Structure formats: structure tokens, C-alpha cells
Amino acid sequence: MILYFAVVHWCVNTLEYKLRFLSVAFSGEWMKKALITGITGQDGFYLTKLLLDKGYSVHGMRQALAHDDRVHLQDMLGDISFHYGDMSDEASLQRVIADVQPDEIYNLAAQSHVGISFSMPEYTKNVNGHGVEKLLRAVYERAPKCRFYQAGTSELFGNAPAPQNENSPFTPESPYAEGKLIAHNAVLNYRKAKGLYAVNGILFNHESPKRGDDFVTQKIVKGAIALKQGRQTCLTLGNLDAQRDWGHAADYVEGMWLMLQQDTPRDYVLASGVSCSVRLFVEDVFAVLGMPIKWQGNGQEEQGIFLENGAVAVNISSAFYRPSEVHVLQGDASLAKRDLGWSAQISRQNLINEMIAAALGEHQ
Ligand code: F7E
């Protein structure tokens, strides 16, 4: 009996493979198709590069903006098909999915700034949460065989004790995390109740030279360079004590792809496992630029002082504090290591070196 089923299974699989081969041969379509929402952001850049290298046909969803938001993608524009769509417009999502018929979707679209989410809670939850419900519904109705990756976040853990892994509790501290929690649960629901291959990647902070200027790593790198070049007199930051697990985005997009290549869909944490404070990140950046600093004062009176001449390099403003803060994020990605063979390869020091080199290149 077992042998009979094994033979039937083999025949069906072989037939399916041959049919796919024939359909591919006659349509001239040899590649897997991926749709990336939020393709114009940092992760969109690295993921597009990775998928093009792997021979995918890459489709990107973008909003109808007046200015050209595709600046990171410039070298790859000829290889990407763009589709107008928006996470708050369900009809547009249905149309894009129906038109593209992707094999894989990477949902990277979001209002991704935690601090800004306190000023725009409704918009943030709509895009990051209810938008994902709309997208999942479109996938289920228009392309149910498509595999779905949801960009989840370590912000879901809030102030749960570190190190955080897939079993740690979610305790959102911001509208950003509240929205992402709606999305997380929607993915679980579509996977369990409706059989979609849908996964949540719970990713800790990941940075790169493509990082937006409002995120603290890039703000520190570009601010320190501006100080060195005399274009700015002081770098103003918020909470220096927050600790984050900072990796490099190039590593993390590989993990996203791996999550969609498994036999069984499952959620994974991706993290470097090493955490440091904003204060230490500042010290490291200034040290690489050859202008070491020391700290003096406490709380909002704390200042970073150049060792060389005693001038103020860094000061603090309450404007950059958040109404509620996530204090310590440090991830445990051992499940991803075990199942996906994934681990972060690029150290924080190399990340800093690369970000500095790229930012210096912009201001030669
Ligand atoms: O803040 C503190 C701030 O804005 C990091 C997003 O990709 O990663 C990112 O979210 C820390 C926070 O990133 C400033 O209070 C101090 O504790 O660079 P950030 P984030 O909030 O951790 C997660 C995983 C995501 O999912 C998000 O989409 O730095 N901090 N002074 C500051 N932060 C900013 N932005 N600016 C400051 O002046």
C-alpha cells in the first residue's frame, strides 16, 4: 500500500514537473516571478538584487508619487516591472496580484518609522496592519498557490526579556508594533485556516548604506561626517540608552528568501544575536572617523565631547525621545540557523565601515 502511494505520488510529481516544464517552454517564461511591495526601500533594493541574481523575474509595487522614489534601484530599473498599487487600496492590490500572478510575494510595504507612528497612529495601523489583511485576501482570492512573506519586526516583542526568540511574548509599545501585530496574526490565520504558504519573518534591526536618514544609524553616520567636514556643528539625538541588535540588510533578505523555499511554512526570527546601545554606536562611528569622544552629564543634559578640543559633538533633545520606548532588543536566531542554515555574516563593525565609506563617497 505504502509503495503504491509512493509510486502514485512520484508519478503525479513527475507529471506536474513535466507540465510546468512544457508550460514554461511554450510561454517562454523560464523564471519564477516575485512581487515585492515596498520595493523602493532599503530591503527592496537588496532583495531585488538577490532575486535578479537568482534568475527571478522581479515585479515591484509602488505608490503613485510625484517625485521619483526609485533612486536606490537605478542600476536595476530595466530589469524590474513596476505596478501602481497601495496598501490602503484593496482594488489596486487585487488588480496587481491578478495581473502579475506571482510565485512569491514579499510584503515589505509599511510606514516603517517607529517614532513617526506615534504622530500618525491611524495611518500606520492601516498600512502596516489592515493593509496586510487586504493583501492576503487578494492573494487568497487571485493567486492562492503564491508563497507570501510578511516583514514582521522585533518591535513586536516590546519590552519582553532579551534574548527574544519565536516563543517570546509580543508586547507592542507603539502604533507601529500594534499594526505589525495585526499583520502577524493575519498571516497565521491565512496559513492555518486557509492553507496559504504564508510566513512572518521577525526581523531585528538591519541597516546599510541604503538606510533612510531618519533612522538612528544613518543619522549618526551622516551627522558625524557632516561634523568632520564642518557642514554641521552638533549631532542631536534622543535616547542613548536604547539597545538594538543591528545587522546588515544584505544578510537579512537572504533569510527572507530562504523562508519561502521550505517544505513547511513557519515563522522565524532573524537577528545577529549581538546588541549594543545607541551610545556605543555613536562612539564607534566617531572613532572610525578619527575623532574620538567622551561623555559627560546625565539624562537629557548628557553630551558627547571631542577628546581633541573639548567641543560639543553630541547633545540630546527630548524631541527625539519616544512616548514609550523599547529598551533592549537582542535576538536569538537559532531556529533560523537550524532550519534555514541562516546566520548573520556581516559584523556591526563592518556595517559601520561600509556605511561610513558610502556616506563619505556622497560628499567627496
Ligand atoms: O531607532 C533611538 C530610538 O529609528 C533605534 C525600523 O526599521 O527597526 C527599526 O526601528 C533606537 C530607538 O529604529 C534617535 O529611540 C535615539 O530606540 O533607528 P531607529 P527602530 O525604532 O529600532 C525595527 C526592527 C523596525 O521594524 C522598524 O521598521 O534609537 N534613538 N536617538 C533615535 N532614533 C531615531 N530615529 N533618531 C534619533 O535621533
Q: What is the pLDDT of residues 166-196, one digit of tens each?
A: 999 999 999 999 999 999 999 999 999 999 9
116 Cα to the center of ligand 1, angstroms: 10
Q: Ligand 1 pocket, 153 CB below 6 A?
A: yes
**Is residue 313 a contact partner of residue 286, using CB atoms and an 8 Å limit?**
yes
Give the list of residues 6+ apart from residue 183 with CB closer than 8 angstroms, or none.
128, 129, 132, 133, 150, 152, 200
Question: Is 153 part of the annotated catalytic residue set?
Answer: yes
- Of 75, 36, 71, give the one whose Cα is nearest residue 57: 36
Residue 284 has pLDDT above 90, yes or no: yes
For the chain, domain boundaries: 31-211+247-275+328-346
Can you list the positions of beta strands (E) in 89-211? 104-107, 147-153, 198-203, 206-207
Average pLDDT of the chain, as a whole number: 93
The CATH code that applies to domain 31-211+247-275+328-346 is 3.40.50.720
pLDDT bin (cut points 50, 70, 90) of residue 28 is very low
Q: How far is the CA of 118 from the centre of ligand 1 (A)?
A: 13
Give the model's pLDDT for residue 24.
47
- Grid coordinates of 95: 488588480
User: Per the structure block, which three cell numbers stand in for 41?
Assistant: 526601500
Ligand 1 atom index nearest CA of 237 = 38
Tell which one of 244, 277, 351, 355 to mutate to probe ligand 1, the residue whose CB is within 8 A of the most ligand atoms.
244
Can you tell me which atom of ligand 1 is nearest the CA of 203? 24
Q: In whole angstroms, what is the distance from residue 242 CA to residue 279 CA?
A: 8
pLDDT digits (tens, 9 = 90+) for 197-243: 999 999 999 999 999 999 999 999 999 999 999 999 999 999 999 99
Q: How confident is the model at residue 66 (pLDDT cuts 50, 70, 90)?
A: low
Which pLDDT does position 362 carry in this prediction? 85
Closest C-alpha to ligand 1, atom 1: 216
The mean pLDDT of 72-92, rounded to a whole number, is 93
Residue-level pLDDT at 186: 98
Q: Catalytic annotation on 17?
A: no
For the record, the C-alpha cell of 114 comes out as: 517607529
How are beta strands 243-244 and 276-277 bridged, if at all? antiparallel
Q: Residue 303: pLDDT above 70?
A: yes
What are the distances in angstroms from CA 288 to CA 281, 282, 293, 352? 11, 10, 11, 8
HSE-CB of 5 using CA atoms within 13 angstroms: 2
Confidence band, pLDDT 50/70/90 cuts, at residue 287: very high
Q: What are phi and psi of 124, to 5 degrees?
A: -60, -45
Residue nearest to atom 26 of ligand 1 (CA): 153
Please tell me the number of Cα atoms within 13 Å of 347 on its side-chain side.
Answer: 4
- Which residue has the least CA distance to atom 5 on ligand 1? 216
Catalytic residue among 40, 124, 153, 217: 153
Q: Tell me, what DSSP letter sits at residue 53? A: H
Q: How far is the centre of ligand 1, averaged over its atoms, from the C-alpha of 320 (Å)?
A: 10
User: Mean pLDDT, to the nearest integer, of 138-144?
Assistant: 98
Stretch 303-331: mean pLDDT: 97
Hey, whose CA ends up nearest to atom 27 of ligand 1? 112
Enumerate the β-bridge partners of residue 80: 58
What would the pLDDT profile of 233-282 be if each residue is shown by its tens digit? 999 999 999 999 999 999 999 999 999 999 999 999 999 999 999 999 99
Taking the model in full, what pTM does it have?
0.91
User: Annotated catalytic, 48?
Assistant: no
Catalytic residue among 46, 104, 124, 155: 155
Per the CB < 8 A criterion, the answer to whether 273 and 332 are in contact is: yes
Higher pLDDT, 18 or 144: 144
